[in-house]
Amino acid sequence: MEWWVSMPKIELHAHLNGSIRDSTLLELARVLGEKGAIVFSDVEHVIMKNDRSLGEVFKLFDLIHILTTDHKTVTRITKEVVEDFASENVVYLELRTTPKKNDSIGMSKQSYMEAVIEGLRAVTAVDIDFVPHKINTQDSLNSIAMNDACDGTRRKKTYVRLLLSIDRRETTEAAIETVKLALEMRGVGVVGIDLSGNPDVGEWNTFLPALKFAQEQGLYITLHCGECL
């Protein structure tokens, strides 16, 4: 395992909410339990279970959405997730997340993403590069890994790029709003659009206009599909 950890790695499929430390989830759940918002004993086993069915995975995501609703928590988990990947020598990380809207606490999709960016800026364990540069065949990810590998004299660097996810529960209008936000945030690491969420929810035609719009604007697109076939 030490040898595998030492190898520079590229992570192309990381969900922010799917990469949170179990210890952080348990801590957040206990706090909400003490406030009476949830029953901690009812959710503890959901967090700690390892062999989950697809249905149980989305049950966990529903719980995570309850636990990660404020800006401070979003910033914290972003910082921790990036530092955890960096500790495993991930030199290029594509991190996807669904911008949340919660009017009750003044959270908009934009303020959610600003909290994510704040989390990137808060990372201290390694140098984080999240401002996009053109990466093409001449400037390969392999050369990035080699040029910025820790050689004992330089700090390690992790390149982080963000994908904004459209949730299958959203409307066409909400999906287009996410694409527009991605376009606005290109300068701070957003490079593409993701379609994800419970595969048993939503219709493909709902999101097609937003995905076409994203493609026309030059955003990269990645899709989750066929998980329940």
Q: Which residues are catalytic?
A: 227
Distances in whole angstroms, Cα of residue 58 to Cα of each of 5, 119, 199:
29, 25, 10
- The sign of the torsion formed by the CA atoms of 95, 19, 88, 227 equals negative
Under 8 Å between Cβ of 163 and 94: yes
Q: Where are the alpha helices (DSSP H) in 97-203?
A: 109-122, 141-147, 172-184
Decide: helix, strand or coil at residue 98: coil
Using alpha carbons, select from 57, 96, 63 the residue that is nearest to residue 200. Answer: 57
Decide: helix, strand or coil at residue 199: coil
Which residues have a Cβ under 8 Å from the Cβ of 199 and sit 6 or more positions away? 54, 168, 224, 225, 226, 227, 228
Q: Is 92 exposed, middle or buried (0-12, 13-18, 19+ CB in 10 A)?
A: buried
Gap between the Cα atoms of 221 and 193, Å rounded: 5
Tokens 């799917």 belong to residue: 18
